[in-house]
């Protein structure tokens, strides 16, 4: 069953009923100001950091689920037509049935259109490029054959900035809320009197006939957002908040002749003043509005709103146009061309901080996560990838280890979340290698970057990469495999925790400095990273280092073959007692997906039959119609020595859920093994668009990937959770664009090596790369993956497109597939 449809031409998903199985959301903002917006206008906004600079309130885990948003109410002031006297044009929060409803989630904007009793409203929400504000542009149309008098209300609940404190520290917070109201604009200035230099504002293009800033004055005691008494009665109190819950709500009276259309623009914004210019007059406590007023004025004009919207569209068109494909499959086309690329950008901006499953409080930017996100977006915004790499590296510790997370506002490692995840540093190498392959900006390796942000500790970025490798080599276990530390990629495989206290966090509880538990996954990741280091050292002309990395790589491969191979697949780990996990010797957790993916991606077993053996074992033991599960059999009980992985009920999350992030590793591995049909089959199983028809089962948005789909052991097999912020986005993008379609950057140039389904007769793609736009046509001539290339009409050797010296900005590439 579907709840909407794709409109690929406009790069939108169109939801046609408000009661989707879960809120289906979108993101606003591209740089510093961000918002989450659901299909019923729920969500919240923040500046840079969802925890430390939260503008508006949102109540997670509420009933109804989606509580708090950027709400608009419409009130029929008369003459009265039969029907409700007030409603929400976005359905929530009044949930009064609408005659028509449609929500269009697009690239960085959302438009919610509805109609009730002949009054049509359409609200376009977006954040203009380069601004720290959001626009709600409401267009009202009167389809009645008589004049309508409509009151329009805006409504937001302000957050007192630190979202954690806001949700817990009521003894203080009920006394500190402050606002100012001037010319219809509401300024939220809690704590501005003391150490804050920022405030929020809600402004309106029309003259305001009333307002409220104290929540209870607007709602009425014991009432909720579904029926504010001020809207019901039409009477605002013009309340000024002193403590309690400051809100922003304005009433605008609109008269619409029959057939008439009018616009009302609201803007919700964030503004900072210079510390010594906070107040006006200087010795007062009144906000200095001199620098904010011109911004407000600008965006309350409809022409400027249009111009800003067109600029936003152009921005996204340009980003997405860097890689566009036409294949025989519409799910592939729309995911590659639109939604997967878009999601990759969102994960770049948010890491794992703010979604409808991540509260914006618990997590900052993940070290491992952000490095992987980069693999997906580096071709779209290489400059920001560069900046991100340097930020991440600056949180690395002198040992080569890393903080697991850092706060986006401060860019400092988050001590509370800790470190000791022994895979973390290796991901930095993958990210830097991807950046170099895309940009050839070798200068980045010379950038001086500190450790733990300590001035004076700077070293060239290359040194950071060397320490990442050394970190693993300094921590090898009894089988010469890498020690796992607190966990590896699987945060929940906690072999050194032995936690028996309820509620204790597996991620931060004191963990044993174990010298026994080892990870085959990290071994595979190490081989992959060492390969990149060899190429980098080669390029830098550092022969000794090249040799050292080659030797380390070979040693690690040897360790994998002697202790990490189980006969039919790669083992997962060794526990603190030195027993294998992910082996046929185990009762539960006999085979895991992660080591099969990473080891084959690292090239292990590709020159004999062991890679295909491992992949066949995946097919046999782990593949389901909804995707590939993490392991089998699921853990049926809690194992003290395994940790959080066994804390989940079977089939969910890390306990044998379909953890989508890992599925593309198998797609890539299958492609490397030359099995295009299998790679593509796995691709389609979790492709959200291909699952659109079962939205009532899948439940999450059909236009973006979710972190997890319930596995076979779960009663709700096939149900997705944790949509949006997941490494699934970047890795699926890499799997389809670089390995199945096979267009991938290398240190030497753009390589083309498609491993597509046998039934496809070819495809076309355009890819911008190092300043040149390649128009690539792939035509199948026979079975197999052999390729012959013609570049600009001339046959070339091999399959890396040579950089032509003729200065042409557009190059035609013809590929004949399956000829040899």
| Distance (Å, whole) CA 533 – CA 757 | 33
- CB-nearer residue toward ligand GLC: 490 or 663: 490
Angle (CA) 250 252 258, round 5° = 150
SS (H, E, C) 585-607: CCCCCCEEHHHHHHHHHCCCCCC
Residue nearest to ligand GLC (CB): 491
Q: What would the DSSP string read from start to end of 188-254?
A: E-TTTTTT--EEEEEEESS--SEEEEEHHHHH-TT--TTS-HHHHHT----B--BSS-EEEEEEEEE
| Distance (Å, whole) CA 663 – CA 694 | 20
| Cβ at position 639, least distance to ligand GLC in Å | 16
- CB-nearer residue toward ligand GLC: 190 or 494: 494
| Cβ at position 397, least distance to ligand GLC in Å | 18
- CB-nearer residue toward ligand GLC: 699 or 780: 699
| Cβ at position 367, least distance to ligand GLC in Å | 9
| Cβ at position 772, least distance to ligand GLC in Å | 35
DSSP assignment letter at 8 = G
| Distance (Å, whole) CA 77 – CA 484 | 66
491 in active site: yes
Closest CA to 88 of 282, 224, 272, 213: 224
536: helix, strand or coil = helix
- CB-nearer residue toward ligand GLC: 270 or 506: 506
Cβ neighbour number for residue 554 with a 10 Å cutoff: 12
Angle between helices 367-377 and 382-394 (to 10 degrees): 160
| Distance (Å, whole) CA 236 – CA 108 | 33
Yes or no: say if 422 and 490 are a contact pair by the CB < 8 Å rule.
no
Active-site hit among 491, 566, 575, 576: 491
Kind plus residue range of the DSSP H or E element containing 386: helix 382-394
DSSP assignment letter at 689 = G
357: helix, strand or coil = coil
Closest CA to 729 of 203, 392, 318, 374: 374
| 808 Ramachandran zone, left/alpha/beta (phi>0; psi -120 to 50) | beta
| Cβ at position 552, least distance to ligand GLC in Å | 24
Yes or no: say if 88 and 72 are a contact pair by the CB < 8 Å rule.
yes
**Interaction site with ligand GLC (CB under 6 A):** 352, 366, 368-369, 489-492, 507, 644, 653-654, 661, 707, 726-727
| Distance (Å, whole) CA 115 – CA 122 | 9
β-strand pairing of 772-780 with 810-817: parallel
| Cβ at position 489, least distance to ligand GLC in Å | 5
| Cβ at position 54, least distance to ligand GLC in Å | 21
- CB-nearer residue toward ligand GLC: 157 or 644: 644
| Cβ at position 404, least distance to ligand GLC in Å | 8
Kind plus residue range of the DSSP H or E element containing 466: helix 461-473
| Cβ at position 369, least distance to ligand GLC in Å | 5
- CB-nearer residue toward ligand GLC: 151 or 370: 370
- CB-nearer residue toward ligand GLC: 249 or 494: 494
- CB-nearer residue toward ligand GLC: 369 or 438: 369
Q: CB within 8 A of 284, min separation 6: which ones?
A: none
- CB-nearer residue toward ligand GLC: 49 or 157: 49
- CB-nearer residue toward ligand GLC: 75 or 653: 653
User: Distance between alpha carbon 644 and the CA centroid of its chain, in Å?
Assistant: 24
Q: H helices of 68-140, where? A: none
User: Distance between alpha carbon 17 and the CA centroid of its chain, in Å?
Assistant: 25
| Cβ at position 653, least distance to ligand GLC in Å | 5
Please list the active-site residues: 491
């Amino acid at each position: 069953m579907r709840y909407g449809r794709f409109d690929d031409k406009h790069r939108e998903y169109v939801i046609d009923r408000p009661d989707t199985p879960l809120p289906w959301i979108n993101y606003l903002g591209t740089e510093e100001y961000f918002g989450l917006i659901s299909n019923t206008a729920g969500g919240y906004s923040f500046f840079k950091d969802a925890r430390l600079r939260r503008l508006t309130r949102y109540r997670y885990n509420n009933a109804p689920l989606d509580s708090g948003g950027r709400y608009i109410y419409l009130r029929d002031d008369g003459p009265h037509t039969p029907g409700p006297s007030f409603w929400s044009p976005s359905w929530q929060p009044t949930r009064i049935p609408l005659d028509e409803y449609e929500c269009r989630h697009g690239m960085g904007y959302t438009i919610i259109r509805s109609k009730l009793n002949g009054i049509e409203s359409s609200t376009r929400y977006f954040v203009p490029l380069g601004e720290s504000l959001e626009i709600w542009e409401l267009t009202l149309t009167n389809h009645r054959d008589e004049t309508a008098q409509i009151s329009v209300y805006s409504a937001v609940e302000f957050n007192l900035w630190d979202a954690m404190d806001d949700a817990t520290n009521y003894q203080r917070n009920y006394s500190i809320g402050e606002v100012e109201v001037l010319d219809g604009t509401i300024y939220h200035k809690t704590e501005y009197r003391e150490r804050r230099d920022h405030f929020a504002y809600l402004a309106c293009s029309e003259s305001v006939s009333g307002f409220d800033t104290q929540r209870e004055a607007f709602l009425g005691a014991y009432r909720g957002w579904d029926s504010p008494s001020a809207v019901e009665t039409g009477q605002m109190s013009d309340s000024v908040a002193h403590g309690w819950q400051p809100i922003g709500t304005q009433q605008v009276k609109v008269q619409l002749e029959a057939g008439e259309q009018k616009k009302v623009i609201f803007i919700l914004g964030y503004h900072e003043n210079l510390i010594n210019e906070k107040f006006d007059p200087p010795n007062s406590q009144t906000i200095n509005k001199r620098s904010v007023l011109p911004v407000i004025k600008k965006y309350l004009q409809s022409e400027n709103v249009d111009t800003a919207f067109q600029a936003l569209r152009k921005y996204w068109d340009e980003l997405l146009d860097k890689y566009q494909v036409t294949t025989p499959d519409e799910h592939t086309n729309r995911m590659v061309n639109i939604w997967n690329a878009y999601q990759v950008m969102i994960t770049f901006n948010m890491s794992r901080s703010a979604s409808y499953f991540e509260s914006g409080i618990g997590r900052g930017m993940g070290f491992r996560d952000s490095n992987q996100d980069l693999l997906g977006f580096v071709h779209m915004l290489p400059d920001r990838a560069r900046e991100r790499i340097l930020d991440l590296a600056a949180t690395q510790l002198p040992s080569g280890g890393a903080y697991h997370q850092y706060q986006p506002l401060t860019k400092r490692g988050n001590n509370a979340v800790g470190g000791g995840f022994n895979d973390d540093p290796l991901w930095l190498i993958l990210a830097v290698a991807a950046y170099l392959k895309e940009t050839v900006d070798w200068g980045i390796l010379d950038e001086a970057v500190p450790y733990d942000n300590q001035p004076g500790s700077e070293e060239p970025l290359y040194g950071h990469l060397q320490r990442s490798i050394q970190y693993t080599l300094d921590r090898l276990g009894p089988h010469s495999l890498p020690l796992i530390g607190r966990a590896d990629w699987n945060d929940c495989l906690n072999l050194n925790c032995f936690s028996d206290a309820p509620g204790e966090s597996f991620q931060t509880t004191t963990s044993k400095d174990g010298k026994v538990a080892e990870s085959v996954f990290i071994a595979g990741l190490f081989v992959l990273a060492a390969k990149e280091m060899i190429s980098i050292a080669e390029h830098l002309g550092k022969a000794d280092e090249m040799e050292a990395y080659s030797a380390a790589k070979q040693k690690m491969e040897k360790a994998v073959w002697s202790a990490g191979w189980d006969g039919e697949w790669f083992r997962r780990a060794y526990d603190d007692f030195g027993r294998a996990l992910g082996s046929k010797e185990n009762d539960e957790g006999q085979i895991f997906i992660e080591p099969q993916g990473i080891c084959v991606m690292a090239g292990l077993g590709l020159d004999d039959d062991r890679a295909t053996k491992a992949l066949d074992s995946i097919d046999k033991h782990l593949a389901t119609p909804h995707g590939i599960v993490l392991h089998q059999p699921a853990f049926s009980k809690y194992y003290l020595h395994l940790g959080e992985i066994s804390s989940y009920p079977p089939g969910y999350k890390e306990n044998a859920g379909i953890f989508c992030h890992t599925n593309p590793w198998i797609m890539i591995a299958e492609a490397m093994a030359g099995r295009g049909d299998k790679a593509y089959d796995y691709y389609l199983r979790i492709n959200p668009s291909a699952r659109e028809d079962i939205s009532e089962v899948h439940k999450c948005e059909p236009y973006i990937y979710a972190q997890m789909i319930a596995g076979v052991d779960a009663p709700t097999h096939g149900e997705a959770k944790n949509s949006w912020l997941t490494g699934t986005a970047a890795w699926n993008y890499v799997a389809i664009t670089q390995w199945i379609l096979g267009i991938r950057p290398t240190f030497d140039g753009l390589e083309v090596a498609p491993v597509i389904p046998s039934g496809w007769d070819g495809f076309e793609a355009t890819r911008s790369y190092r300043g040149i736009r390649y128009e690539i046509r792939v035509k199948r001539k026979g079975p197999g993956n052999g390729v012959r290339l013609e570049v600009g009409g001339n046959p070339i050797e091999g399959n890396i497109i040579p950089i032509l010296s003729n200065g042409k900005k557009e190059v035609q590439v013809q590929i004949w597939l399956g000829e040899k």
